[in-house]
Structure 1
């Protein structure tokens, strides 16, 4: 079986596919990519199924070598992307010949990136998915982040035609839209107003489980402990510190802190990609509005995908 060798791992580099939906009631986190659309674009560029397993990394992509000719694509804001020293663009497919080294530099201005290989990463599925969940040690390669010298099996695939992303699909400006609740009534009116009017900052305290926000402290009128209930990707919990914490792909399935709001599905990947120190504000919208903007965003994404596939 063909393999990919990790010569130098990227930061927080793991195997990720579309994740494990439908298992939250059993206490199993969905996991999957921090930026699902970027993963899908990467797979489309190399001719894979939309949810095929890729490599996900944060900030820095490292170096990878294949032992068989394949198509590869890197979907990240990588300014230094090279094959055997020759610079190549991101958001395009390229032929990586056996023995050549793909080197992926830093991703200034964003966080998460994806490497797709034609045929996909073929680590054994766990509970129907190859996605790595680090805290529980599920999926990927031994349920852990990748290390130097790791060898990953590849599925059946061959180099295909060169493809490129011809148009963007996602707005990168404007406030992060939220639907208030489900426990927004646990916060006084003035606290809710501060949450929506004052700026927050993307902090360095972040991983695949959650992202802590710097900025105004938000106090819960009745205290910061509630009877544990279910969480969603994008739930904004407010613990005793008063610092809002946004739950991400590897979140716990239940939580005992009040949730003042939920990030709209359309803006959660944009928040995940915000670099440390970036300032932003929240904007409250209704659930019907959130559904409408998501429908419009998905149409734009499908148009971009159609151009990739030709």
Structure 2
């Protein structure tokens, strides 16, 4: 079976858990920005967690199924419509051949996900079906969807889970305020005491300059220690000689607006990384719409590892709650 795209929406792409193992040669992991929401969509339709879904940004697509299909819409709150009639999110839905799936105005967050039983069946590129539009690889011809595209769906494998609805306790929230945990370093020593205090005690807001590469924040700014810039570094106080970036790195060019690097970010460059968002909170960051108030809290690497384990346990409990296996 397949979906025919009548209207692609703003930026709809094929994504899965990401392309791991190529960051050292400049190819980012990509994958669903909000991995947790995408994975729970797969749980509801009886897919493995690794199956590809459609990621919809703000304005979703209008698509028609050419055969009977089972779908679930998870992630940011949005009106879901089948043939113009409103349907619930976080619930398994049955489409008949010829049915039209469309969406209203997003009501919070930035992205929601269409999981379909059998998974989106585009070819794997470097071990993933995820779309990396800047590099033109993965997904459907390495780009976001366009009107007239036909998106193939794979054959189901396994039974449907017992429950059709994801219980409320396992659904993520899309609040207008967030607390994001970070591990300081590698270059936090370049900040003055005031600069570090501003980073950790200040109130930051997500700006409209936010995409799959990263999110820019406005706020009190930070101060950098004065120094003679080393050979090879630029004149900006946040410049360094080139270094590799961890996924989730926080840069503050010019000391004014922090940038959190996300799923499609470059793997290296000449800005100092003052901290890194812990892996357990990367989905949280992805849910932040422009204007979201954010506070950064420093944690240790040991605490970050515990949080990562907790995130994995929550996912497992969510899958078990509906009778599915990750």
Q: TM-score range by the shorter chain?
A: over 0.9
Q: Equivalences for 1:1-310 in 2 at 5 Å?
A: 2-157=1-156, 160=160, 163-169=164-170, 170=172, 175-221=179-225, 222=227, 223-240=237-254, 242-309=256-323
TM-score, structure 2 as length reference:
0.90
**Local SS of the residue matching 1:60:** coil
Q: Deviations over 1:66-101 (max 9, x none)?
A: 101111011033341111122111111111111000
User: Any conservation in 2 of the 1:163–1:309 contact (CA below 8 Å)?
Assistant: no
The CA distance in 2 between the partners of 1:99 and 1:178, in whole Å, is 47
CA deviation after TM superposition for structure 1 residue 160, in Å: 4.6
CA deviation after TM superposition for structure 1 residue 242, in Å: 2.6
User: Any conservation in 2 of the 1:15–1:54 contact (CA below 8 Å)?
Assistant: yes
**Local SS of the residue matching 2:322:** helix
The CA distance in 1 between the partners of 2:4 and 2:268, in whole Å, is 37
**Local SS of the residue matching 1:267:** helix
Q: Deviations over 1:162-199 (max 9, x none)?
A: 62111333565652111111110111111001111110
The CA distance in 2 between the partners of 1:238 and 1:177, in whole Å, is 17
CA deviation after TM superposition for structure 1 residue 51, in Å: 1.2
Q: Deviations over 1:45-68 (max 9, x none)?
A: 111111111100111222111101
Q: Deviations over 1:257-303 (max 9, x none)?
A: 00111112222211211111111211111111121222223222221
Show the counterpart of 2:234: none
CA deviation after TM superposition for structure 1 residue 309, in Å: 2.6
Structure 1 spans left out of the alignment, 5+ residues: none
**Local SS of the residue matching 1:290:** helix
Q: How many residues align?
A: 309
Q: Deviations over 1:122-155 (max 9, x none)?
A: 1111111110001111111111111111111111
Structure 2 spans left out of the alignment, 5+ residues: 228-236
Q: Deviations over 1:223-269 (max 9, x none)?
A: 22112222122110122363110000000011210011111222221
**Local SS of the residue matching 1:226:** strand
